[in-house]
Amino acid sequence: MSTATPLYGTPVTMTITLTGLATDANLLAGRQSTLVDQKDTDDAIDCLVGGKVTTGTTPTTAKQIEIWLIGTWDDTVFSGGAGASDAAFTPTGEKTLLKLLTIIPTDGTSDHVYEWGPFSVAQAFGGVIPTLWGVYIVHNTAVNLNATATNHAVKYQPVKFESA
């Protein structure tokens, strides 16, 4: 009798440009990643996603960074009107059409690195990972995010099953 055990893949850096991302008091205008193709590329049953976001100089205390997931139900229409590539993104309609992963409370410390994750993509979507999915990040810290690219990262780690 064989047993299914998890097989963790190599973490993959997602394409999302967070350097200098402008603040939005309404927590709408943010940035989306290029979508991950689960069907044709990873073939994983889940992905663990996480990363780091660094605030800019003299952010306002008691604000937040929001991390959301974008998905598709038909490989062509994406949550909240998102596109398929790394781009500025303001959700159309209700932001609740996206899946909230986490809200990171921020403080007034300049260049504070906030690490987040790991979060299960499949769990966020009710147990099954969409064929195409991505990340959307927005903040209201009152200043642009840090301007150094290496101070930001979003990665995912595919999870598959193997028979042992």
Please state the domain extents for the chain.
Answer: 14-159
Q: Is 90 exceeded by the pLDDT of residue 29?
A: yes
The per-residue pLDDT for range 3-20, each reduced to its tens digit, is 888 999 999 999 999 999
Class of domain 14-159: mainly beta
Query: Greater confidence, 50 or 72?
Result: 50
The per-residue pLDDT for range 70-115, each reduced to its tens digit, is 999 898 889 999 999 999 999 987 777 799 999 999 999 999 999 9
Question: Which of 27-36, 94-103, 110-119, 120-129 comes out lowest in average pLDDT?
Answer: 94-103
Give this prediction's pTM: 0.95
Q: Please, are residues 158 and 14 in contact by the beta-carbon 8 Å criterion?
A: no
Closest CA to 56 of 141, 116, 136, 137: 141
CA distance 69 to 38: 14
Q: Is 90 exceeded by the pLDDT of residue 1?
A: no
Residue type, 54: T
Q: Is 90 exceeded by the pLDDT of residue 144?
A: yes
